[in-house]
Chain A
Amino acid sequence: MSTKKKPKLAVWKFASCDGCQLSLLDCEDELLAVAGEVHIANFPEASRAVVRGPYDISLVEGSITTPHDAERIHKIRRVSKSLITIGACATAGGIQSLRNFKDVRDFISIVYASPQFIDTLNKSTAISDHVTVDFELRGCPINKYQLVELINATLNGRKPNIPTYSVCVECKRKGIVCVMVAAGTPCLGPVTQAGCGALCPSYNRGCYSCFGPKETPNTTSLGAWFEHLNVPKDDIVRAFRGFNAYAEPFRKESEAYEK
């Protein structure tokens, strides 16, 4: 038996809450097994030890919001064989992309007394706006089992089994009564990519789209249904301006309602 070198995994952080990388540490049953298969070479949240690149897999969390980070992501791309974004911030700009709809200078003065100390870009943008991304894992936060599946697939050179259909499909499979049809609760499930296991509807709540737009979402139709349910226009804007506000289909729909 040859002692095959273990593939190297790195975790990188940009503007984010740390929740998606924490998902890796939350794999209590799988963590030691994953650590047996890959060499965790750069994961500051978990370890002081840093092994130099290049890395086989880079997991990138967070969005680009500063001039320095816009440079840093290119360096990371250069040392990464496969670059995977994890979560809504890295994939769509995250909740902090709400600044993109306003003037960021107003925002700085609301939070900080001495705005001259703050160095920030006008917009919070997805990693794919800056570099080529090999796979985008959705969610706010990501689903940890999808993460393990994605690492497994990448290591074995196969396509990950991560569906792109809507939350509605998960709801039907779980046998949950439709919250919109039965209770008149506005729900973003029809335009949102599956992955959470239809969590909110299973707790009697409408989906608020942690996983962002599904493939070919008909947001216009859903907006019309919301109006039909007497949802005020400013609440429709808020609904599409959540954790994936700057994902194109959602951005366009919220802007249409703002006019």
Chain B
Amino acid sequence: MKSKSIKVDYLARVEGEGRLLVKIKNNKVSDVKFNIIEPPRFFEAFLRGRRFTEAPDITARICGICPVAYQMSSLHAMESICGKKVTGPLRDLRRLLYCGEYIESHALHIYLLHAPDFLGYEDAIQMAKDHPELVKKALRLKKIGNDLMILLGGREIHPINVKVGGFYKVPTKKQLEEHIEPLKWALEFALETVKVTATLPFPDLERDYEFVSLHHPEEYPLCEGKLVSNKGVDITIDDFLKCFEEEHVEHSTSLHARVKARGDYLVGPMARYNNNFDRLPAVARKAAKEAGLEKSCSNPFKSIIVRAVETAFACHEALRLIKKYEMPDKPYVEVKPRQGTGHGCTEAPRGILYHRYKIDSNGVIQDARIIPPTSQNQKSIEADLLRFVEKNIELPHDKLTWQCEQVVRNYDPCISCSCHFLKLKIERE
């Protein structure tokens, strides 16, 4: 009898603290655990008793990588409780801010966190020694996304300019137009990134995923739409908790989510792409096709190409929104609190982020529920690991360990979010 284990005690190049344990007995995988060991921070508890207007600033602090997602989901929830809808240029500016976060977050993940795996570098700084121009361009792309966030949000991490009902201050047309030339460069480089990522060596891994994302009648989804999947989910976001549930397992401080009727599901770029290919702008669809991506993609290693396609979308969309922008008379609409329960679900770069709040007639939060994308992907990550190790059990230990880490990084997991670090261990007995 031969057993061993693959163990990574601190998974690198992810956001937050997690670890991975794969146990192998007689050349069969006996156990897979993706542990989230991030210390719990209890956001849902201390939101109780805070004002409804404070939710965007407080929940942004769950995650320094995707604060805009937290702000947008909480804003939509609060506005739906109070019966207000933000439309016109204010809605466009929110979408533009989200485009900034997509460009920044995807550029970070594609080049600084994910590409080094495919090319065999420990990190992007080592990669920069052999590919200095590419890394410099990647940093420039990231900066263009951050610059949009700085203009619209005040700063790139934990923006201060969004509020329930709109913004504190809106930019002038001229201020936005200064971003046109950099964004045109960014779009070209994003398209080049689609080509570059498509040439990477992709390990074999396909599963029959349930892809869950938002779907909007006219646009590639960011803030609004119905929740859909390729296996029959078709609900409004208000019904999220009727369709999905969370369970608390011992090895994780993050709750695991599942589709009540079926089990694990996948959220994030691959889910959005598969459910919304037709909503991508023609330039992004063309780049995807030329890169050999079909309308659907179910090899999670190829999510790096999908992220590049989405980056091209975000640049294209940002340019479109800037061109049509007319500065509104007032930076926000007045929102008065009223008693009720409301839901918000928007597409964070790493997948859907659901918020539910109950507030009283004075606007004080009575109850809060937050389901971040990484806790929704945990079960899928474990299932991918199981399948991957089973198929690649003969690989040398070091290589297998590295590739298992990569299986996790495919999801761009944000562990700070989901609980809110990653340690990987493969045990062979």
A contacts, CB < 8 Å to B = 13-20, 22-23, 25-26, 28-29, 31-32, 35, 40, 44-50, 65-66, 69, 94-96, 98-99, 102, 104, 106-108, 110-114, 117-118, 120, 124, 140-141, 196, 199-200, 202-205, 208, 210, 235, 238, 243
Contacts and interface: CB of A to CB of B under 8 A. Distances in A.
B58 A22 contact: no
B248 A19 contact: no
A111 B65 contact: no
A178 B336 CA distance: 26
Contacts of B67: 19
A48 B12 contact: yes
27 contacts: A17-B64, A19-B61, A19-B63, A22-B157, A26-B146, A28-B146, A32-B136, A35-B125, A44-B421, A46-B12, A46-B113, A47-B123, A48-B13, A48-B402, A49-B123, A49-B126, A95-B41, A95-B46, A96-B41, A102-B45, A108-B40, A112-B255, A117-B248, A120-B40, A141-B64, A203-B169, A204-B331
B39 A65 contact: yes
Nearest to A110: B45
A111 B369 CA distance: 8
Nearest to B331: A204
Interface string B119-131: 0001111101000
Interface residues of B, number: 68
Given A17-B416, A111-B40, A208-B160, 19 more contacts: A15-B420, A18-B416, A19-B158, A22-B65, A29-B143, A31-B125, A32-B139, A46-B125, A47-B126, A49-B123, A65-B40, A95-B41, A95-B61, A106-B45, A108-B40, A113-B255, A140-B61, A140-B158, A200-B160
B168 A204 contact: yes
Interface of B: 10-17, 38-46, 48, 50-51, 54, 57-58, 61-65, 67, 108, 112-113, 122-126, 128, 135-136, 139-140, 142-143, 146, 154-158, 160-161, 163, 168-169, 247-250, 253, 255, 331, 402, 405, 414, 416, 420-421
A205 B166 CA distance: 13
Contacts of B48: 110
A200 B11 CA distance: 36
A107 B247 CA distance: 17
Contacts of B113: 46
Contact of B51 (A15, A69, A235): A235
B160 A118 contact: no
Nearest to A34: B125
B112 A25 contact: yes
Contact of B253 (A118, A140, A199): A118
Nearest to B367: A110
Contact of A210 (B17, B158, B163): B158
Given A28-B140, A203-B168, A15 B39 contact: yes
The 10 A-B residue pairs with the shortest CB-CB distance in the complex, in nearest-first order = A19-B64, A47-B123, A107-B45, A49-B122, A98-B46, A28-B143, A28-B139, A110-B45, A141-B157, A48-B12
Contacts of A45: 12-15
Contacts of B331: 204
Given A28-B146, A208-B57, A47 B63 contact: no
B50 to A, nearest CB: 6
Contacts of B157: 19, 22-23, 26, 141
Contacts of A99: 42, 45-46
Contacts of A29: 139, 143
A114 B169 CA distance: 44
A29 B143 CA distance: 9
B179 to A, nearest CB: 16
A117 B108 CA distance: 34
A107 B158 CA distance: 24
A243 B405 CA distance: 33
Contacts of B65: 18-19, 22
Contacts of B11: 44
A220 to B, nearest CB: 23
